[in-house]
Amino acid sequence: MTLSHSGRHTTRYRVIALVAAVLSVVAAVALSSTPQQAHAASLTRVTGFGTNPTNLNMYVYAPDRLAARPALLLMIHYCTGTASAVHNGGGRDYVTAADRYGYVIVYPEATRDGRCFDVSTQNALRRNGGSDSTGIMSMVSYARQRYNVDPARIVVSGISSGAMMTNVLTAQYPDVFSAASAFAGVPAGCFATTDGSMWNSQCSGGTLLKTPQQWGDQARAMFPGYTGAYPRIQLWHGTNDTTLAYPNFGEALDQWTNVHGVSRTPASTDQPQSNWTRTRYGASGVVEGISAQGTGHDVPTAGMVGYAISFLGLDRPGTDPTTTTTTTTTTTTPPPSQGCSVKAAVNAWNNGLTETITITNTSSAAVNGWKLQFTLPGGQAITGGWSATYSPASGQVTASNVSYNAQIPPSAQISIGLQATHTGNSAAATGFALNGVPCAAA
């Protein structure tokens, strides 16, 4: 029997819906066997959050004990899914962690037939293009202001269609997100279509193959002219996935290692669980892939979200800006560096800029824990950053390592970055010193 075009789509949606139902049942069983602590926080719908060209719904979960300066997780559902389904099902571990660490979760919800997110149309695949990603970013902006979010700790995660959107948002808004984790997605732009359809069979079947450079160029084209750093990204895929076929995993790794400018050869390989193989790319692990042997499209499976929480940096309390100085002054000074070089690149506009700072350890010994001192030009003030903490916001600044990039091996490099306002002088920072040792210009 040959299915019509619409019939094939209906069959796919039914398959995805069946997978979603299984996930929900598994989650419900797990939750029913675990004592739940009563609390007042609940999933809440928000309206009037800003520009919303495709009529998405917005839901927020803010825990009872919200950090003074919380992180923000953007959690995106699968086809046929809802905010409630992912909140109570496959993403439930994110909620438990939010209660513990005090971060906010924002859930976009698709309302079109099939409840898939648009990662296919021309408008969907460019920054501020006027499709789903535009409405989603309105939600992020709303939550940032409403909850005093730490701009350096805005992260995104998604499942299936949500994972595809995770890849697209990472390409379109690299200046907003610090990290991403995608469960069973495809490379950014892989699902592009020209016939008005939102399903790309070549991509879903894993037969749309490109070079790393081509994939990288496709991601970069979603934010033309951007020269700053891209978010760290974690990719999950089951080897038996027949909905979004397993070759998409390798294609996505090709894309993001190219975007980050790191080798496609893993810097490390291990097995966090018996059927998982984790590969990390670049000295600081800016790209991470986890292949789940024997797993189909029904991800995340047990334990996966816990690893994503750690990768996204959500497993630490939010910072209180009123106590940052006190905390910094009591921190043990890292050991001196024996040699370093720094390259700083600025992307400026009107009264704002982003600056990417690449640090190279030119010594023969690893740096274990670091602080980078530098001076911002007059009139510049930091409003956010990624891959480091920054204090103070202007003048002579110290950037301190975060947990995942504390070590810089010999001859290795890491990239950090900041967002800042300026009053006319958009020049790069100067006077770089790593753990007190002046760094050469790269």
Q: 316-331 burial by CB neighbour count: b if 16+ within 10 A, else e? A: eebbeeeeeeeeeeee
Helical (H) or strand (E) element with 348: strand 340-349
Nearest by Cα to 91 from 304, 272, 239: 304
d(CA 277, CA 287): 14
Candidates 133, 160, 337, 415; catalytic one: 160
φ/ψ of 342, rounded to 5, equals -135, 135
Please report, as a single letter, which amino acid is at residue 358: T
**In the sheet that 371-375 helps form, which strands lie side by side, from edge to edge?**
389-391, 396-400, 371-375, 430-434, 437-438
Q: Strand ranges (DSSP E) for 255-309?
A: 268-270, 276-281, 287-292
Is 160 noted as a catalytic residue in this protein? yes
Question: What contacts 11, CB < 8 A, 6 or more positions away?
Answer: 3
Residues pairing with 396 in the sheet: 375
CA dihedral 125, 131, 135, 138 (to 10 degrees): 50
Chain length of the chain = 442
Q: What is the DSSP letter of 403?
A: G
* Nearest-5° Cα angle at 266, 263 to 269: 170
- Residues serving a catalytic function are 160
